[in-house]
Amino acid sequence: MVHNILRKYGIRGGDHDQHFLVDERILDRIVEAADIQPHETILEIGAGIGNLTERLMKRAKKVVAIERDPALVDVLRDRFGDDGRLEIIPGDVLEVEFPAFDKVVSNLPYSISSEITFKLFRHDFRLGILMYQYEFAQRMVAHANSEDYSRLSVNAHYFADASIIMKIPRGAFSPPPEVLSAVVRLEPRPAPFEVADREYFLHFVTAVFGQRRKKIRNSIIRNKQLLGIDIRDFVDEIPQEMLDRRPENLEPEELARLANILYAHKQNT
């Protein structure tokens, strides 16, 4: 069925992150993982030719599909007509406003996965079932003291519980991408640790992981303009054993503690 859709519209893909998921078993498993209820509104980012969209529409009260490619927007409109269960938003996902939604279920464009994910974190939703490049997914769920632990790991841990629920082979797509993929379950929840200022904490994490192989002390000093503080003025007030470690060896809670100390001094200067 899904291969027929590609042939009908003469869609080839391969450009602009256009690798269409065509394995019907995997499409069904993704929808099952979302546990969609009849009253829910589902956000789909990068709807493509509508393979996932069709399945979401059968379960949800409404599907909001964002698609940038005008040719694919035409496919969606031709395929689903004026079905009231579907709202199509043409445009760049990073520029359009998200309407209210309960869950997000999407095969994300891999080249902007990070930007989309952080935009999603600014919205109130109950569940995300999202496909990423496998290496990106590994970084998202990584823990401290592991090779994949990164800024993404810390920020994801701050906003949500994340877990990889299935690994997707290249052959599930048309055309097959060069990378493996994975589906991640995201469950937003209150932060498990306190930060004095959320934006400052996120800037701090970005700054120190920009030089992840350096000790935290050196990373903070090198980023004093970005962080608005010079720790050499109050270095004795910071736990030295934390300053002597690398960011990849600090738990998210420890990074938050450091950010809070810096923010408090910044506010007092």
pLDDT by 10s per residue, the chain, length 269: 555 666 676 666 544 557 899 999 999 999 999 999 999 999 999 999 999 999 999 999 999 999 999 999 999 999 999 889 999 999 999 999 999 999 999 999 999 999 999 999 999 999 999 999 999 999 999 999 999 999 999 999 999 999 999 999 999 998 899 999 999 999 999 999 999 999 999 999 999 998 878 899 999 989 888 889 888 888 888 888 999 999 999 999 999 999 999 999 889 87
Binding residues: 19, 21, 46, 67, 92, 107
The pair of three-digit structure tokens given for residue 2, joined into one six-digit string: 């899904």
- What is the model's pLDDT at position 212? 76
Burial class (CB in 10 A: 0-12, 13-18, 19+), 72: buried
Number of residues that this document lists for the chain? 269
Count of other CB atoms within 10 angstroms of residue 28: 11
pLDDT at residue 235, rounded to an integer: 83
How far apart CA 181 and CA 168 sit, in angstroms, is 5
Residues belonging to the binding site for S-adenosyl-L-methionine are 19, 21, 46, 67, 92, 107
SS3 percent helix, strand, coil of the chain, rounded to 5, is: 45, 20, 35
The structure's pTM equals 0.90
- Record the tokens describing residue 173, joined without a space: 């797509």
Return phi, psi of residue 53, to 5°.
-55, -45
**pLDDT score recorded for residue 253:** 96
Report pLDDT for 200: 96
- Is the torsion defined by CA of 211, 217, 220, 223 positive or negative? negative
Which pLDDT belongs to residue 42? 98
Q: What is the pLDDT of residue 239?
A: 87
pLDDT of residue 14: 47
Please report the domains of the chain, with CATH numbers, ordered by start residue.
2-188 (3.40.50.150), 198-268 (1.10.8.100)
Q: What pLDDT score was predicted for residue 236? A: 84
At CA 60, angle to CA 59 and CA 64, rounded to 5? 130
